[in-house]
Structure 1
Amino acid sequence: MNTIFLPLPILFFLCAMTMKSSNDQQGITLSNLKFFNSQLYFINFFGHILLFGSGLLIGITLTFFLKNFSFNFQIQHFQDQSFTLNPPSTISLSPPIPSHDHHKNQTEIPIKQDCLVINNTTSNISWNELEDFLKVPSAMHNMNEDELFWRASMFPMIGKPPFKQTPKVAFMFLTKGAVLLAPLWEKFFKGNEGLFSIYIHPNPSFNEMVYDQSSVFYDRRIPSKEVVWGENSMIEAERRLLANALLDFSNQRFVLLSESCIPLFNFSTIYNYLMNSKQTFVEANDIEGNVGRGRYRKTMKPLIQLSQWRKGSQWFQIDRFLALQVISDESYFPVFKEYCNPPCYSDEHYLPTMVSIKFWEMNSNRTLTWVDWSKGGAHPSRFIRPQVTWEFLEMLRFGSTCEYNGEMTNICHLFARKFTTNALDRLLRFAPKLMQFN
């Protein structure tokens, strides 16, 4: 083997270069290692952040889903509850009943909120919410007057109902006791079921057992209070009758009658006359003297001026819109109640004055109930048996002229008063032929 000898300077140079190369490689390795460690650190850091964010997002999504599911479940459960109008009442909310018996786990939350009942039902029971809402409470109920008037004042803003509705006439009898001429009215109503409703406001002490269960007057008494002639209790009774009649959404016309009133035509004639009328029938006259303007009280200013004071018969025939205005009136009624006391007889002035001020365009300014005031005095004439003749009844039916829906007619009165019970036999004899009952 040949040996190569290098000069010493070159040997030193090569050793230095070798050492430098070795150091450079070690430096590069350490630098790369530090860089790799830093990258690994950041990757781990962002990995934890990504993992935490994913968990948080999943948690939020699950929470929202469970809340939404719970809300939908509660809505569905609420819709499955039975809804009835049968005051007074409480709201009872209970969880659904499972297949096994867990009645002890049911909860009831009593809330004093009248006119609304939500009863527990199983989910497989179907019901119609609208029909239940339209269900009419019985004539005799347990609502107090605040509850009654609040419930009766409800009305839909949309005029056309989304269901078939047969309009009815509400016949409201303001009586001391029984409807004296009930047998005549029985013949009048016979065969017209579904087209009328009856409400009776007697003295609270009246025993209604006088009506047979087959009578149209049976079980038609409303919660009543004592009424004193000439006092504000008369208006209160009228408003009470209207409020009870308004509970039935089918009642579209409202007729106030006394126990001594009679019909002058058959049911179909009266029904069509009322339903087809474009106006209401409240008598409202401006009368000078003691029985008119003389009853006005200056303390009624500024709400009611003397020039606005009106007098008329209390026996009215009005539509649903005006009935709602009467029972919702919180302006004129309190003034009359405070300032119109005998010899100011509010039943002859309250409705004529209020209607004349606020609703005169829709009113005919006449009543459909014929009354004889020709003899003067505080009360109209009474008619006994000898006075009830065919000719007399025909005169009541066609003996005057008036305007109806813009045209003249000789049918101006549909009812008449005051007839006594001893005139009943003649009325029963004439009515079926003359008035064409049945």
Structure 2
Amino acid sequence: MIEAERLLLATALQDPANQRFVLLSDSCVPLYNFSYIYRYLMASSRSFVDSFLDLKDGRYHPKMAPVVPRDKWRKGSQWISLIRSHAEVVVDDEVVLPVFKKFCKRRPAVDTSKGKLNLVSEFNPQMNAIRLTDWGIKLQKQHNCIPDEHYVPTLIAMSELEGDIERRTLTYTLWNQSATKMDNKAWHPVTFNYADASPKRLKEIKDINHVHYESEARTEWCQTNSTFVPCFLFARKFSRGAAMRLLSEGVVGPFDASSLLGNS
């Protein structure tokens, strides 16, 4: 994911006219029309990078030090908006990225449907015998790191640029906590379906004016140039049906959604 982001930014930087670089997922929807979003982004001289202290020990690998010190370790949404100079920092980085490649990796998932097929044989030389090991338990003990949630905010912190950013994302996500065998507290983004994509729902998102970061006891009141503004320009995850409803009902702006369906 990090490499893909860097390639996108590098390509966009080839055009000197590009001054803002926004990363979105394919399930994002705009909350406002293009003109409003453009003015919002261009009115600020700062990047918008969700960034907060990650106090959990599970993701930071001690071997990252001293290149990536613990006090510079950050977490945040991968959906970012960068000004040109910050996009160049990401593309030109040759210090932090190699450390992430080596020590910040996702733990492989276990296919719980396989049942006993998750058992693997291991030779124990001390006992001169073969024993069966539950691969799921073994994986659970492995270090687990999600690089796209840490790389950019950590790089910004290490580059001493946190004073030049708004430490929040412009993309709204509703998180749902679920329990799995691999992680007792796994968080997943809620998917909004057709029934959820109502004007009322979008208004609730658009009315959000602050974000609270529990790990820092910090409340980020959303501002641009000392003017209070809505926190979010985009929202996710919306299904295709939900997106079609938003378009057809003109929630964001006038649009004929039937034009996307072709002639029937």
Structure-1-length-normalised TM-score: 0.44
Instruction: Name the structure 2 match of 1:235.
Output: 2
Asked if 1:345 corresponds to 2:146, the answer is yes
Structure 2: runs of 5 or more not aligned: 107-143, 179-185, 211-220, 256-264
Contact 1:382 1:419 in 2 (8 A): yes
| C-alpha separation in 2, matches of 1:409 and 1:367 | 15
Q: 1:421 aligns with which of 222, 240, 244?
A: 240
Which residue of 2 is the match for residue 169 of structure 1?
none
Matched position secondary structure for 2:222: strand
Matched, 1:259 2:78: no
Q: Distance in 1 between matches of 2:16 and 2:82?
A: 15
Q: What corresponds to 1:273 in structure 2?
A: 40
Inter-CA distance 357–436: structure 2 relative to 1 (3 Å threshold):
same
Q: Per-residue deviation at 1:398?
A: 1.8
| Aligned residue number for residue 130 of structure 2 | none
Distance 1:424 1:406, change over 3 A: closer
Establish whether residue 389 from structure 1 lines up as the match of residue 153 from structure 2: no
Q: Residue type matched to 1:236 in 2?
A: E
Instruction: Say if 2:69 is the partner of 1:318.
Output: no
- 1:262/1:416 contact within 8 Å kept: yes
Partner of 1:283: 50
The CA distance in 2 between the partners of 1:391 and 1:398, in whole Å, is 11
Instruction: Using the TM superposition, give the Cα deviation of residue 415 of structure 1 relative to its aligned residue in structure 2, in angstroms.
Output: 0.6
What pairs with 1:4-403 in structure 2 (closer than 5 Å)? 234-289=1-56, 293-342=57-106, 343-358=144-159, 359-376=161-178, 377-401=186-210, 402-403=221-222
**Contact kept in structure 2, 1:368 and 1:412, CA below 8 Å:** yes
CA contact (8 A) 1:279 1:364 kept: yes
Q: Is the 8 A contact 1:277 1:404 kept in 2?
A: no
**Post-superposition offset of 1:263:** 0.5
CA distance in 2, matches of 1:378, 1:332: 26
Q: Match of 2:16, as an amino acid? A: F
Displacement after TM superposition at 1:408 (Å): 5.0
Larger radius of gyration: 1
Structure 2 residue matching 1:251: 3-state secondary structure: coil
Structure 2 CA distance, aligned partners of 1:355 and 1:426? 38
RMSD of aligned alpha carbons: 1.6
TM-score (norm 2): 0.72
More helix by percentage = 1
Secondary structure of 1:370's aligned partner: strand
Q: Partners in 2 of 1:410 and 1:272 — Cα distance?
A: 12
Letter in 2 for 1:337: K
User: Cα offset for 1:313?
Assistant: 0.4
Q: Which residue of 2 aligns with 1:139?
A: none
Relative to total residues, which structure has the larger strand share, 1 or 2? 2
CA contact (8 A) 1:254 1:319 kept: yes
Distance 1:272 1:365 in 2: 19
Partners of 1:372 and 1:283 in 2: how far apart? 15
Q: Does 1:435 align with 2:236?
A: no
* Structure 1 counterpart of 2:172, one-letter code: W
Where does structure 1 lack aligned partners over 5 or more consecutive residues?
A: 1-233
Distance, in Å, in 2 between the alignment partners of 1:425 and 1:266 is: 16
Q: Distance in 2 between matches of 1:305 and 1:418?
A: 33
What's the offset of the Cα at 1:437?
4.8
| Partner Cα distance (1:399, 1:298) in 2 | 37
Deviation string 1:366-423 (CA, Å, 9 cap, x unpaired) is 0000011143534211010111111101111122333323525241100111001121
Partners of 2:191 and 2:167 lie apart in 1 by 24
The answer as to whether partners of 2:246 and 2:252 remain within 8 angstroms in 1 is no
Residues 173-195 of structure 1, C-alpha deviations (whole Å, 9 max, x = no match) = xxxxxxxxxxxxxxxxxxxxxxx
User: C-alpha separation between the residues in 2 aligned to 1:261 and 1:424?
Assistant: 9
Percent of matched pairs sharing the same residue: 42
Say if 1:398 and 1:410, in contact at 8 Å, map to a contact too: no
Secondary structure of the 2:21 match is strand
Supply the AA of the counterpart residue of 2:78. Q
Q: Distance in 1 between matches of 2:203 and 2:4?
A: 32
Map of 2:137 onto structure 1? none
The aligned residue for residue 106 of structure 1 is none
SS at match of 1:314: coil
3-state SS, counterpart of residue 22 of structure 2: strand
Q: Which residue of 1 aligns with 2:230?
A: 411
Aligned-residue offset at 1:269: 0.6
Offset of 1:297 from its aligned partner? 0.8
Q: What is the distance in 2 between the residues matched to 1:243 and 1:259?
A: 20
Distance 1:422 1:270 in 2: 23
Quote the Cα distance in structure 2 between the aligned partners of 1:362 and 1:331: 21
